């Protein structure tokens, strides 16, 4: 382990710009960035801006290991417009600047969601001071303002996030209640108008196995395509737990979407476990991570594999799943876990 960490540290200063995908052919990958180039898939991580600013080892590993960055919270509506008409782009700008410096691409996350909305918006809708007509204009302005600010700098946007509930129905959000189902198509249209070069995604959890959610999401995609609305990709979040069976039909499910002409991405991968950690649990976790990346590598239209944080030091899991954790590919000291090493063994078919 010490030798591995030393080897990783030795390359911390290199790879400021991307290298050709053919570089190092026949040689085992040294790290995830090297693996990304070998597979022809962007390998990314969600980024915590506060940790990025203050923790040198955290920042160093992001820039050494990853070719794609996603703001964990930096681009969500409550972060960028906490008060109506008063924008805070500090964290989002930091992410974009860093990506440009280190030859990385950015995933914009997320434009339309039912969570992490600013209080001024939710309270205004609730008390009736924001009616449906104004809400639609607010949503349009939000999308056009944010996408427009980063025009040409964001590879892909999660335009709508988690719009299908756990029963396979359109989620009963403020958007559906007040704007009707047409808000989904509108969001894609506005995003495309603001940046015609960006790839536009629908993103959701449990799409790896939940039949009802899969079927409804397929219907949404086909409806958008039938109406001539630009949609480029499907995002599988990839939040798994080793206490549940691995979703073995995931390759076929991904293919159902890519057969429609979409590109695919695994956008928020992590694999949690019931604590305490044991070697057996770590081995199972490693297998789940490897199988997710292998599914992406085996599908020529899968272009990205992003982990939802790479270190247990800053994982969201313990705060949401009582008694669970250790979901990331490195521990809280950034030491690579078996999952990290398993990813390096994946090959493109």
The catalytic residue positions are 162, 268
Q: Which residues contact 275 (CB under 8 A, 6 or more apart)?
A: 323, 324, 325, 326
Nearest Cα neighbor of 186 from 128, 217, 227, 240 is: 227
Nearest Cα neighbor of 342 from 272, 293, 298, 278 is: 293
CA distance 247 to 100: 35
CB count in 10 Å sphere of residue 137: 11
Nearest Cα neighbor of 33 from 59, 53, 62 is: 62
CA distance 106 to 98: 10
Contact predicate 147/108, CB 8 Å: yes
CB count in 10 Å sphere of residue 126: 10
Phi and psi at 81, nearest 5°, equal -140, 70
Nearest Cα neighbor of 303 from 346, 347, 263 is: 263
* DSSP per-residue codes, 134-148: HHHHHHHHHHHHHHH
CA distance 149 to 160: 18
Nearest Cα neighbor of 290 from 226, 244, 344, 253 is: 344
CA distances for 60 relative to 63, 334, 338, angstroms: 5, 11, 21
CA distance 18 to 101: 11
């Amino acid at each position: 382990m010490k030798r591995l960490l030393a080897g990783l540290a030795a390359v911390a200063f290199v790879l400021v710009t991307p290298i050709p995908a053919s570089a190092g052919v026949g040689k085992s990958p040294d790290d995830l960035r090297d693996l990304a180039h070998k597979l022809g898939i962007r390998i990314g991580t969600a980024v915590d801006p506060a940790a990025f600013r203050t923790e040198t080892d955290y920042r160093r590993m992001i820039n050494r290991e990853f070719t794609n960055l996603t703001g964990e919270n930096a681009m969500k509506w409550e972060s960028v417009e906490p008060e109506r008409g008063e924008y805070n782009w500090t964290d989002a700008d930091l992410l974009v600047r860093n990506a440009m410096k280190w030859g990385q691409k950015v995933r914009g996350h997320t434009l339309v969601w039912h969570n992490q909305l600013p209080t001024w918006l939710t309270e205004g809708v609730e008390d009736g001071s924001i009616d449906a007509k104004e809400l639609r204009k607010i949503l349009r302005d939000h999308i056009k303002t944010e996408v427009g600010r980063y025009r040409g700098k964001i590879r892909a946007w999660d335009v709508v996030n988690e719009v299908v509930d756990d029963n396979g129905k359109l989620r009963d959000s403020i958007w559906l209640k007040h704007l009707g189902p047409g808000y989904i198509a509108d969001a894609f249209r506005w995003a495309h108008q603001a940046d015609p070069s960006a790839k536009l995604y629908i993103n959701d959890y449990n799409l790896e196995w939940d039949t009802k959610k899969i079927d409804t999401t397929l219907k949404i995609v086909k409806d958008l395509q039938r109406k001539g609305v630009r949609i480029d990709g499907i995002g599988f979040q990839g939040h798994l737990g080793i206490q549940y069976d691995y979703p073995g039909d995931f390759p076929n499910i991904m293919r159902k979407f890519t057969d429609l002409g979409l590109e695919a991405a695994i956008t928020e991968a992590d694999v949690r476990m019931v604590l305490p950690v044991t070697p057996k649990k770590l081995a199972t976790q490693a297998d789940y991570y490897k199988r997710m990346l292998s599914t992406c590598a085996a599908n020529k239209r899968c272009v990205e594999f992003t982990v939802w944080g790479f270190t247990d030091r800053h994982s969201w899991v313990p705060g949401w799943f009582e008694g669970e954790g250790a979901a990331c590919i490195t521990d809280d000291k950034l030491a690579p876990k078996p999952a990290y090493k398993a990813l390096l063994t994946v090959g493109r078919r």
